[in-house]
Amino acid sequence: MGHTIVDPKPSLFTFKIPDNGNWKALAGISLQDCCCVLTAGGGAKFEQRGPMLITHWGVSGPAILKLSAWAARALGSNSYTAELNLDLCPQVPVEELTSEILRMKKLKNKAFSSLPLSMKETSFPRRLWGYLLSRQKIPEDARFSELKDKTLRKVALDCKRLALPVQGKGPFKEEFVTSGGVDLREVDLKTMRSKKINGLYFGGEVLNIDGETGGFNFQSAWTSGFLAGKDLAKRVS
Ligand SMILES: Cc1cc2nc3c(=O)[nH]c(=O)nc-3n(C[C@H](O)[C@H](O)[C@H](O)COP(=O)(O)OP(=O)(O)OC[C@H]3O[C@@H](n4cnc5c(N)ncnc54)[C@H](O)[C@@H]3O)c2cc1C
């Protein structure tokens, strides 16, 4: 029909994370506040902060879905591979968390059963704390006093910047929306009329419009449909 189509790519999806270090065992854990930074091909960086959910295939939740919306095109042209860095405890600066964890060396407590106070205050999941310790090969029965400063510093760093490889997205057709579609420059956005073909209208997802979660995609479909209908009614009356 002579209209330019911006290459369609899926948007609003979850990320697949390979199961290195027993990630799947954490499925079901959620964090109310997590800062997620995605580095896609060519070094493009995307950042979102909010609730994050660990699933049996990777990560999901509002922060991840929003990240996928902004990074949809960069990820799509990079076979859905990227690096994801999670700050699991964004409320506490890294220096503060490191000194707090180092101070715990004075305790005789078992490392797996004692969370740093600042993390306890944020209801940090105990299983996730155990995962961070296991990543440093700390035995389950180890006491804080037996651990080296270097190891504890690494635990704090991991908590603030957990690097995970993204190797794919959630299943095809489980994405919520399409990024790309009819080029907006070729549509009159006041009436949704095609600027190229008389009598042709566009509305909804067929257009190169996509939004984050929160009803923006529905709103776009309803609004563009309403505008097209209104103009069409004016024409025929
Ligand atoms: C699982 C899921 C959850 C979502 N959740 C949200 C949300 O919470 N908030 C939000 O804002 N958006 C959400 N979306 C996105 C939202 O549903 C879409 O953006 C919106 O429905 C697009 O409206 P549309 O009318 O353009 O297209 P559609 O709703 O896809 O409607 C197109 C219609 O055209 C019909 N059709 C297709 N081909 C033909 C043909 N050749 N002849 C006749 N009929 C045809 C289809 O059967 C369909 O009924 C979600 C999407 C999915 C998949």
The residue contributing the CA closest to ligand 1 atom 21 is 218
Answer yes or no: do 14 and 80 share one domain: yes
**In this model, does residue 21 exceed pLDDT 90?**
no
Query: In the structure, what pLDDT confidence band is assigned to residue 98 with cuts at 50, 70 and 90?
Result: very high
- Position 107 scores a pLDDT of 85
Question: Is position 81 within any domain?
Answer: yes
Residue 75 structural domain: 10-89+163-167
**CB-based pocket (< 6 A), ligand 1:** 176-177, 204-205, 215-218, 221
Strands, DSSP E only, in the chain? 5-11, 15-16, 30-39, 45-54, 58-60, 81-87, 162-167, 177-182, 187-188, 193-194
The first and second tokens of residue 16, run together, are: 């697949």
Please indicate whether residue 196 or residue 107 has the higher confidence score (pLDDT): 196
Quick one: 84 and 36 in the same domain?
Answer: yes
Q: Is the ipTM of this complex over 0.90?
A: yes
Is residue 117 within 8 A of residue 99, CB to CB? The reply is no
Q: Same domain for 81 and 114?
A: no
pLDDT digits (tens, 9 = 90+) for 196-237: 999 999 999 999 999 998 899 999 999 999 999 999 999 988
- Around Cβ 221, how many Cβ atoms within 10 Å? 17
Residue 130 lies in a domain: yes
Q: Is residue 154 part of a domain?
A: yes
Q: Is 3 within the bounds of a domain?
A: no
Q: Are residues 69 and 120 in the same domain?
A: no
> Taking the alpha carbons of 223, 13, 74, 76 in that order, is the dihedral positive or negative?
negative
Q: Are the C-beta atoms of residues 182 and 203 closer than 8 Å to each other?
A: no
Q: Which of 11, 177, 202 for mutating ligand 1's site (highest number of atoms within 8 Å of CB)?
A: 177
- On whether both 17 and 84 belong to a single domain, the answer is yes
Kindly report, residue by residue over 59-89, the tens digit of the pLDDT: 999 999 999 999 999 999 999 999 999 999 9
CA dihedral (132, 119, 86, 103) positive or negative? negative
Q: Are 218 and 19 in contact (CB under 8 A)?
A: no
Tell me the two tokens of residue 162.
């957990």
Distance 217 CA to ligand 1 centre (A): 9
Contact between 62 and 14 (Cβ < 8 Å):
no
> Which residue, among 145, 142, 209, 155, has the nearest Cα to 179 in the 3D structure?
209
Tell me if 175 sits within 8 A of 74, measured CB to CB.
no
Best mutation site among 179, 205, 206, 219 for ligand 1, i.e. most ligand atoms within 8 A of its Cβ? 205
Same domain, 112 and 135: yes
* CB atoms closer than 10 angstroms to residue 13: 24
Q: Within this chain, do residues 85 and 14 fall inside the same structural domain, yes or no?
A: yes
What is residue 42's predicted lDDT score, i.e. its pLDDT? 82
Q: Is residue 176 part of a domain?
A: no
Q: Helix axis angle, 94-103 relative to 149-160, nearest 10°?
A: 140
Residue 57 structure tokens:
């295939």
Query: Is residue 173 over pLDDT 80?
Result: no
What is the bridge-based pairing of β-strands 177-182 and 5-11?
A: antiparallel
Same domain, 144 and 193: no
Question: Is 126 among the domain residues?
Answer: yes
Q: What is the pLDDT of residues 113-139, one digit of tens each?
A: 999 988 988 889 999 999 999 999 999
Per-residue pLDDT at 148: 94
> What atom of ligand 1 comes closest to residue 218's alpha carbon?
11
**Domain-ending residue, one of 139, 167, 195:** 167
Distance CA 86, CA 69 (A): 17
Position 172 pLDDT exceeds 80: no
| Residues 199, 139 share a domain | no
The total of structural domains in the chain comes to 3
